[in-house]
């Protein structure tokens, strides 16, 4: 008796014993979306397998970790601006405390803020909705990946309170400093930090499999390859990139953990190990990692600017091919982080060439985004402001990468604040500006309420002015020779000048402005939950499928599964009265 599957309406009535989904639970005869068991607070919000709830869990955890990471930035920026004076709300920042603040600021912002918000938060919430299905393919695997992620956050926070304090060997944790307590003086902090990162990797491997398989297989009927919205493409390619690049570092993390805990000598040169091996394994992961967080941000910006400019995305296929090109290219550029780290100078030549050439596809993607704005009818909602600010700020981030990609200039600029300013001009647009664009854009869909526009604009200008005030001066101090992770520049006579110190004070003031602006966002976020204007299903009059579901979408998303008739970006089609044409509306 073959399986009768009628994708249109309800889930087929299942016969006992028919092969059900992957997760090993019995083929429950309950019709989908119908009667559930008793739903308590715990099963609805904490142990839920609904992709939307899990997406929001990732987002809230990411926001909390962003506050912690931001507080660390506040502490060490105050120490840099007013050296050796107790920081209000934190206390005295001694050298080892400074090192662990800097290390964990980097690790938290990349692993526990950027990746969860961009890949897991938006990925979980948007992918099933945007490809028109009811949930992720493996709901319980999805829940397990969040739980592992939550455990990794707890383990990381635990690493701050163990004897010796948090690990202070930079987020790259280069051995031999990271591989033995005698060198890093955090015998408990270092293994715990590494264990937290390893658990977080496992969580994102599991989550990644869910995203890739759902996007590949569970597309709505009628949705061809070119009808998939760009943000879904980007999150899937990012998950593949993460999975392919994290492998060697997981092997490396096992070796480093054994070095730290068991006392083996994988990376101890005295006994045959090699410290450069870890650097290579780390950066083989490290560089694809920055594209893992860049691509979802580009996808979010693509959705936001097409909706609010009412314009079709310029050259959808070109963007897709250049994304695939960038993803493939990102595997052969990693040693530009190690030009002066002792690798063979001949290899540096190869990596200089590949690094400069990877700026071509990224440049083309940005040009296509800017070309999308041509001939548009742009309405500056807060999400559009953030979307456009991403393009403007990321241009400077990408452009300053050329200085560091050129090996000879990197001899001078390596590990200076020029590098710090460069990667903040790429990471902040990715992990903060694009995420705010996504939150302001999809908040109505997530919570069924509209966010306040004036508070949003205050938050926008505060964030942008603050951000630029921090990192433009740091380009200059970096070019002057300020090196990274140095807790006080008073000991270096060439750097202890008043001019450079005033630039550091300006940067700290910029950071304070940026932190204050976030209060506008928190107030706006919380207040709109209850007092925001109720949002219709499609407040921005957009085309993609998630706007066909009610706001907030119930469990099971769509009353009836949508069928796709056209691409996601058919805006302002000549000859139509309305300037948008949702994917699921028959011709």
Partner 1 sequence: MIDWLTPRASSFAGDIDWLFALILGFVGFWFVVAEVVLFSFLFKFRRRRNARARYVTGTLKTEKRWISVPHVLIILCDVVIIAATLSVWAAVKQSFPPAQEKVRIVAQQWAWTFVHPGPDGALDTADDVTTIDELHVKTDTTYHFELTAKDVLHSFSVPAFRLKQDAVPGRVITGWFKPTTPGQYDVQCAEICGIGHGLMPARITVETKEQHDQWLRRAAAPAGGLVATGPGGTPWR
Partner 2 sequence: MATSVPLATTRAATGIPTARLAMWWVIASEIVIFGGLLATYVMLRLHHDHWAEEASHTSTLAGGFNTFVLLTSSLFAVLAHQAAERGRGVRAARFLWYTIGGGATFMLVKAFEYTNEISHGYTMFRDVFWSYYYTATGLHGLHVLAGMVCMAIVAAGARRGENLHRVELVGIYWHFVDMVWIFLFPLLYIAK
Partner 3 sequence: MAQQTATAYTAPTTPATPARASERAHGHPSYVKIWGILLALLAASIAGPFFGIMWLTLVTAFGIAVVKAVMVAAYFMHLNIEKPLVRYMLLAIAALVLVLWAGIYPDVQKSEGQNWRQAERVVRPAGDAHAKPAGEAGRH
Distance CA 355, CA 522 (A): 39
| Span from 191-199, 270-278, 499-507, 539-547 in contact with partner 2 (CB under 8 A) | 270-278
Distance CA 214, CA 141 (A): 12
Under the binding rule (CB under 8 A), the answer on residue 346 touching partner 3 is yes
Q: Residue 46's beta-bridge partner residues?
A: none
- Structural contact between residues 306 and 316, judged by C-beta atoms closer than 8 angstroms: no
| Span from 53-61, 89-97, 127-135, 487-495 in contact with partner 2 (CB under 8 A) | 127-135
Residue 465, token pair as written in the block: 């002015």
Question: Residue 205 CB, nearest distance to partner 2 (Å)?
Answer: 5
The smaller minimum CB distance to partner 1, of residues 143 and 336, is found at 336
Under the binding rule (CB under 8 A), the answer on residue 201 touching partner 3 is no
Binding partner selected for residue 32 from partner 1, partner 3, partner 2, none, CB under the kind-specific 5 to 8 Å limit:
partner 2
For 53-114, the three-class secondary structure string (H helix, E strand, C coil) is HHHHHHHHHHHHHHHHHHHHHHHHHHHHHCCCCCECCCECCCHHHHHHHHHHHHHHHHHHHH
Sole binder of partner 2 in the list 59, 117, 195, 281 (CB under 8 A): 281
Question: Residue 109 CB, nearest distance to partner 2 (Å)?
Answer: 25
| Span from 68-76, 274-282, 366-374, 453-461 in contact with partner 2 (CB under 8 A) | 274-282
Binding partner selected for residue 192 from partner 2, partner 3, partner 1, none, CB under the kind-specific 5 to 8 Å limit:
none
Question: Residue 19 CB, nearest distance to partner 3 (Å)?
Answer: 5
Under the binding rule (CB under 8 A), the answer on residue 182 touching partner 2 is no
In this structure, the number of other CB atoms found within 10 A of the CB of residue 4 comes to 9
Distance CA 284, CA 330 (A): 9
Q: State the number of binding residues for partner 3 (CB under 8 A).
A: 37
* Closest residue by Cα to residue 584 from 550, 540, 547, 554: 547
Phi, psi of 150 (to 5 degrees): -65, -40
Query: How far lies 4's CA from each of 18, 23, 29, 239, 291, in Å?
Result: 11, 21, 14, 33, 42
Binding partner selected for residue 128 from partner 2, partner 3, partner 1, none, CB under the kind-specific 5 to 8 Å limit:
partner 2
Under the binding rule (CB under 8 A), the answer on residue 140 touching partner 3 is no
Sole binder of partner 2 in the list 148, 255, 333, 428 (CB under 8 A): 255
CA count, 13 A, side-chain hemisphere, 181: 15
Under the binding rule (CB under 8 A), the answer on residue 15 touching partner 2 is no
Distance CA 232, CA 236 (A): 6
- In the region spanning residues 218 to 247, those forming contacts with partner 2, defined by CB under 8 A, are 218-219, 223, 243-247
Binding partner selected for residue 252 from partner 2, partner 3, partner 1, none, CB under the kind-specific 5 to 8 Å limit:
partner 2
Question: Residue 430 CB, nearest distance to partner 3 (Å)?
Answer: 24
Query: How far lies 450's CA from each of 121, 138, 522, 552, in Å?
Result: 19, 31, 14, 12
Distance CA 251, CA 284 (A): 12
Sole binder of partner 3 in the list 86, 95, 269, 375 (CB under 8 A): 269
Question: Residue 143 CB, nearest distance to partner 2 (Å)?
Answer: 10
Binding partner selected for residue 335 from partner 1, partner 3, partner 2, none, CB under the kind-specific 5 to 8 Å limit:
partner 3
Binding partner selected for residue 530 from partner 2, partner 1, partner 3, none, CB under the kind-specific 5 to 8 Å limit:
none
Question: Residue 268 CB, nearest distance to partner 3 (Å)?
Answer: 9
Sole binder of partner 2 in the list 13, 21, 494, 522 (CB under 8 A): 21
Listed in sequence order, the residues at least 6 apart from 574 whose beta carbon sits closer than 8 Å to its beta carbon are none
Phi, psi of 166 (to 5 degrees): -70, 160
- In the region spanning residues 281 to 300, those forming contacts with partner 3, defined by CB under 8 A, are 281, 284
Under the binding rule (CB under 8 A), the answer on residue 271 touching partner 3 is yes
Query: How many Å is the Cα radius of gyration of the chain?
Result: 24
The smaller minimum CB distance to partner 1, of residues 338 and 551, is found at 338
Annotate 155-176 with b (16+ C-beta within 10 A) or e (fewer).
bbbbbbebebbbbbbbbebbbb
Q: State the number of binding residues for partner 2 (CB under 8 A).
A: 71
- In the region spanning residues 228 to 257, those forming contacts with partner 3, defined by CB under 8 A, are 244-245, 247-248
Question: Residue 542 CB, nearest distance to partner 1 (Å)?
Answer: 14
205 burial type by CB count under 10 A (0-12 exposed, 13-18 middle, 19+ buried): middle
Sole binder of partner 3 in the list 64, 92, 154, 347 (CB under 8 A): 347
Distance CA 124, CA 212 (A): 11
Question: Residue 12 CB, nearest distance to partner 2 (Å)?
Answer: 7
Under the binding rule (CB under 8 A), the answer on residue 4 touching partner 2 is no
Angle at 569 between CA 563 and CA 570, to 5 degrees: 80
Distance CA 525, CA 519 (A): 10
- In the region spanning residues 11 to 70, those forming contacts with partner 3, defined by CB under 8 A, are 15-21
Binding partner selected for residue 334 from partner 3, partner 1, partner 2, none, CB under the kind-specific 5 to 8 Å limit:
partner 3
Give, to the nearest 10 degrees, the angle between helix 122-130 and helix 51-81. Answer: 150
The smaller minimum CB distance to partner 2, of residues 322 and 544, is found at 544
The smaller minimum CB distance to partner 1, of residues 122 and 386, is found at 386
Say how many Å lie between the first and final Cα of the chain, rounded.
37
Tell me which H or E stretch contains 183.
helix 181-184
Q: Residue 87's beta-bridge partner residues?
A: 91
Question: Residue 274 CB, nearest distance to partner 3 (Å)?
Answer: 5
Residues forming the site for partner 3 (CB under 8 A): 1-3, 5, 7, 15-21, 244-245, 247-248, 265, 269-272, 274, 276-277, 280-281, 284, 331-332, 334-335, 342-347
């Amino acid at each position: 008796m073959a399986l009768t599957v009628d994708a249109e309406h309800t889930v087929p009535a299942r016969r006992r014993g028919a092969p059900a989904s992957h997760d090993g639970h019995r083929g429950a005869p309950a019709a989908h979306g119908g009667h559930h068991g008793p739903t308590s607070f715990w099963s609805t919000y904490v142990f839920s397998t609904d992709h939307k709830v899990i997406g929001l869990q990732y987002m809230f955890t990411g926001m909390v970790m962003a506050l912690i990471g931001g507080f660390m930035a506040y502490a060490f920026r105050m120490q840099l601006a007013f050296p050796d004076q107790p920081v209000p709300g934190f206390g005295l920042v001694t050298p080892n405390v400074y090192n662990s603040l800097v290390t964990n600021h980097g690790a938290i912002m990349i692993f526990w803020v950027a990746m969860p918000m961009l890949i897991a938060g938006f990925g979980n919430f948007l992918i099933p909705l945007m490809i028109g299905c009811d949930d992720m393919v493996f709901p319980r695997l999805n829940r397990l990946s969040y739980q592992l992620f939550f455990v990794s956050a707890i383990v990381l926070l635990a690493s701050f309170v163990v004897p010796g304090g948090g690990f202070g060997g930079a987020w790259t944790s280069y051995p031999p400093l990271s591989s033995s307590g005698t060198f890093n003086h955090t015998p408990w902090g270092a293994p715990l930090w590494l264990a937290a990162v390893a658990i977080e990797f496992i969580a994102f491997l599991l989550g990644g499999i869910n995203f890739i398989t759902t996007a590949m297989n569970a597309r709505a009927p009628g949705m061809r390859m070119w009808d998939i919205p760009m943000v879904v493409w980007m999150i899937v390619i990012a998950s593949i990139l993460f999975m392919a690049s994290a492998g060697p570092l997981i092997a490396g993390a096992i070796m480093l953990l054994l070095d730290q805990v068991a006392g083996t000598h994988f990376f101890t040169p005295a006994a045959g190990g090699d410290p450069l091996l870890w650097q290579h394994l780390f950066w083989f992961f490290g560089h694809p990692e920055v594209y893992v967080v860049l691509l979802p941000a580009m996808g979010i910006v693509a959705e936001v600017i097409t909706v609010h400019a009412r314009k079709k995305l310029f050259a959808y296929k070109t963007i897709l091919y250049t994304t695939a090109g960038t993803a493939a290219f990102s595997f052969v550029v990693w040693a530009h982080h190690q030009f002066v780290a002792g690798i063979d100078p001949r290899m540096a030549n190869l990596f200089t060439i590949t690094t400069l050439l990877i700026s071509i596809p990224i440049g083309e993607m940005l040009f296509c985004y800017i070309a999308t704005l041509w001939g548009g009818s742009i309405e500056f909602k807060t999400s559009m402001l953030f979307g456009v600010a991403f393009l403007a700020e990321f241009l400077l981030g990408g452009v300053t990468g050329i200085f560091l990609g050129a090996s000879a200039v990197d001899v001078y600029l390596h590990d200076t604040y020029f590098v710090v300013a460069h990667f903040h001009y790429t990471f902040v647009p990715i992990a903060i500006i694009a995420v705010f664009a996504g939150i302001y854009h999809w908040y109505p869909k997530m919570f069924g309420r509209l966010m306040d526009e004036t508070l949003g604009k205050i938050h926008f200008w505060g964030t942008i002015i603050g951000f630029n005030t921090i990192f433009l001066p740091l380009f200059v101090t970096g070019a002057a020779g300020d090196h990274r992770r140095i807790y006080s520049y008073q000991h270096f006579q060439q750097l202890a000048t008043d001019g450079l110190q005033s630039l550091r004070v300006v940067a700290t003031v910029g950071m304070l402005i940026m932190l204050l602006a976030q209060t506008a966002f928190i107030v706006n976020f919380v207040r709109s939950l209850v007092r925001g204007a109720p949002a219709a299903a499609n407040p921005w009059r957009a085309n993609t499928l998630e706007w066909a579901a009610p706001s907030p979408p119930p469990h099971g998303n769509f009353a009836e599964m949508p069928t796709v008739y056209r691409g996601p970006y058919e805006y302002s089609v000549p000859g139509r009265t309305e300037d948008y044409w949702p994917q699921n509306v028959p011709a």
